[in-house]
Structure 1
Amino acid sequence: MQPIIEISNLTISFHGDEYCLTAIEELTLSIFKGETLAIIGESGSGKSVLGQAILSILPESAEIQGIINYREKNLLMASDSELESIRGGLIGWVPQNPKMGFNPSMKMWKQIAESMIIHTDSSWSEAKRQAISLLERFKVLPADQWADAYPVSYSGGMLQRAMVAMGTSVNPDVIIADEPTKGVDLLNKSGITDLFLEMKNRGITQILITHDLDFARELADRVAVLYCGQIVEITSKEIFFTHPRHPYSHGLLQSLPQNGLCPIPGNAPPMHIVHTGCRFKDRCSDSKKECKNPVPFFSMNKDYVRCFNYHNRDQS
């Protein structure tokens, strides 16, 4: 199967006055049409940077090397006009903070309708009708009244649903959502989960950037685990939640309430540290002498893990 997005040897660094911060290092990942991929990891692992890199919306201070292909087109080499036609049209974006994602002085319907005006032949009147229909579909009710309201009038849950409506307004090929359940109460989280399940059922490719493992369990087909800017495991949802091969993946699952709320000891190393071996070795109870050496990606069928000791966990 041909990937819809293919990332090869991606490295992203930010240069400061005193040192260089490497947020993503030599990352390779394929995302296939129609699948839902959850990218999980602790805060600071590089998840959001990866999502922004796909959309080419990183700040100018970012130094990017590698390839990000969307339908065999390298987005890192695309012109501004090509990126404008892709962003918000072919690739939708749901940013992490919906309160910061809207223009406070513009009515909600117009903000949702803008992508339709840019990427389709819709008139403003038709785009408004479609915007109201989207708000209705995503349970912002009564939709015709809330369409004429300003973002300040919306609750946090309503803003999140409106953000999803805006990100999917032109039926994108791919939707990238950055922490869509962050700061959302259980009732609104259930509604947001339903929104993404609906998009999944419509065949939209989804990249879900999240630290919410229950959300990933509900939606993902595959899981990519990111730690200190490196992918340490790529596997199916079923294997990740029942038999993870990387000790960091295992630690994330043990930190869930239903598994005893056992935190991973220690902290992730700072991004400016130059690593030579396994980045998780100082927090790992299974660390061995060989973990000081560079760790390759070991392949098992369609799964990958970056750990010398994966076979011990695979057989347990």
Structure 2
Amino acid sequence: MSVLVNPSAPLLELENLNVYLPTVRGRAHAIRDLSLRLARGQTLGLIGESGCGKSLTALAIMGLLPESAEVSGAIRLQGQDLTALGEDQLCNLRGARMAMIFQEPMTALNPLHTIGQQIAEPLRLHLGMDAPAAREQALSLLERVQLPRARERLDAYPHQLSGGQRQRVMISMALACGPDLLIADEPTTALDVTVQKEVLDLIGQLVREDGMGLLLISHDLGLMRDRVEQVMVMYGGTAVEHAGTDDLFRNAAHPYTRGLFAARPRLDLPRGTRLRTIAGHVPELIDLPEGCTFAGRCEIARDSCPRQTPSWLTIEPRPQDPGVPHRVACPYWSDA
């Protein structure tokens, strides 16, 4: 069965995606009615605290959820519903038309194979290259991501490289077959600030050159501001706010989004100033309410909030904020 492609469809479309995971305490609703659209050449950031469902969303798109997971709703890649495909068909797409940069390259790379072998593998599987041609292309990819002494690194093993070098190798593998969609899941975890900037600049440059769609996942607000065109804020496995990046940073609306912004360190704060925090803790998935997932930590929650799932509201755009509609999942956002 071939994969059907609709050129006029969005590159990536999630429609009412739900993911359920079994736990020792019962069935947990891990992703809740998540919908988003991403066109080729667009950049979208998913932001939120750890445990809010960002990485799980990425794994769902890639078809890498645990076998015990239950999925409903649609995940479409240019019109083709990925949830209807078998594992063999998904394997044909991974690395070829959609690729992912994982947050910890040391666990994502195979310690038993050289760097050159691992980059060459998708080239041989998806593009049918022979071993010598794949090796030369692997070298070209390493040079493109500006890995020092690239030819020597072809025969190196992951443990022989630094964290920043391993991340460049991961980017090379992700870009090997020229995918349409690139997912970067916390791509600068455990890297120092200088290397973080280099890696992010590299990803941005490659996305612009190749015209890919980029889904960037992070908990770092400052990183998002400079790297993506639009941002979706997640909490408790669902989206709570979506807007153009500049719009969101100027006019954060949802109580959770405002709490994240208030908790950011700022250079202009007097010495000794305590940062604001969001009261409470992120609950376990199994303990989230059926309604608004943020209700238990929200300062403006009403009695009905834990029981009633909030509808999306569109905030009237300001003249300086054209483009992506600013939407928020809170009927009381103006009271925050």
The more displaced of 99-108 and 296-305 is: 296-305
The superposition leaves residues 246-301 of structure 1 with CA deviations (integer Å, 9 ceiling, x where unpaired) of 11111111222127642222112221025243222232223334534331111347
The more displaced of 45-54 and 127-136 is: 127-136
**Partner of residue 273, structure 1:** 287
The superposition leaves residues 196-249 of structure 1 with CA deviations (integer Å, 9 ceiling, x where unpaired) of 111232221101111122221121111011100110011100111111111111
**Partner of residue 242, structure 1:** 250
Q: 1:44 aligns with which of 23, 48, 51?
A: 51
**Partner of residue 310, structure 1:** 333
Q: 1:163 aligns with which of 138, 158, 170?
A: 170
The more displaced of 297-306 and 203-212 is: 297-306
Could you tell me how far apart the structure 1 residues matched to 2:332 and 2:276 are?
22
Kindly indicate whether the alpha-carbon contact (under 8 Å) linking 1:291 and 1:308 is maintained by their aligned counterparts in 2: no
The superposition leaves residues 72-125 of structure 1 with CA deviations (integer Å, 9 ceiling, x where unpaired) of 111011122321111011001111210011111111011011111111132221
Q: 2:260 aligns with which of 236, 242, 252?
A: 252
Identity fraction in percent = 34
1:34 counterpart letter in structure 2 = G
SS of residue matched to 2:116: helix
- Report the Cα offset of residue 187 of structure 1: 1.3
Q: 1:282 aligns with which of 288, 296, 315?
A: 296
Q: Residues 172-191 of structure 1 correspond to what in structure 2 (within 5 A)?
A: 172-191=179-198
Pair 1:20 & 2:27 matched: yes
Pair 1:122 & 2:136 matched: no
**Partner of residue 311, structure 2:** 296
Q: Residues 66-145 of structure 1 correspond to what in structure 2 (within 5 A)?
A: 66-145=73-152
2:11 counterpart letter in structure 1 = I
Could you tell me how far apart the structure 1 residues matched to 2:288 and 2:295 are?
14
Could you tell me how far apart the structure 1 residues matched to 2:147 and 2:231 are?
30
Report runs of 4+ in structure 1 exceeding 4 Å deviation: none
1:156 counterpart letter in structure 2 = G
Pair 1:220 & 2:228 matched: yes
Could you tell me how far apart the structure 2 residues matched to 1:183 and 1:77 are?
36
Structure 2, gaps ≥5 residues long:
1-7, 270-274, 318-324
Could you tell me how far apart the structure 2 residues matched to 1:208 and 1:226 are?
13
Kindly indicate whether the alpha-carbon contact (under 8 Å) linking 2:111 and 2:158 is maintained by their aligned counterparts in 1: yes
Aligned-CA RMSD value: 1.7
The superposition leaves residues 42-69 of structure 1 with CA deviations (integer Å, 9 ceiling, x where unpaired) of 0000111100000101111111111111
Kindly indicate whether the alpha-carbon contact (under 8 Å) linking 1:181 and 1:212 is maintained by their aligned counterparts in 2: no
The more displaced of 100-109 and 11-20 is: 11-20
1:267 counterpart letter in structure 2 = H
TM-score, normalisation: structure 1:
0.94
The superposition leaves residues 156-197 of structure 1 with CA deviations (integer Å, 9 ceiling, x where unpaired) of 111111111111111110101111111111111011111111
- Report the Cα offset of residue 142 of structure 1: 0.7
1:114 counterpart letter in structure 2 = E
Kindly indicate whether the alpha-carbon contact (under 8 Å) linking 2:247 and 2:326 is maintained by their aligned counterparts in 1: no
Structure 1, gaps ≥5 residues long:
none
Could you tell me how far apart the structure 2 residues matched to 1:97 and 1:190 are?
17
TM-score, normalisation: structure 2:
0.89
Could you tell me how far apart the structure 2 residues matched to 1:193 and 1:18 are?
39
Could you tell me how far apart the structure 2 residues matched to 1:278 and 1:93 are?
30
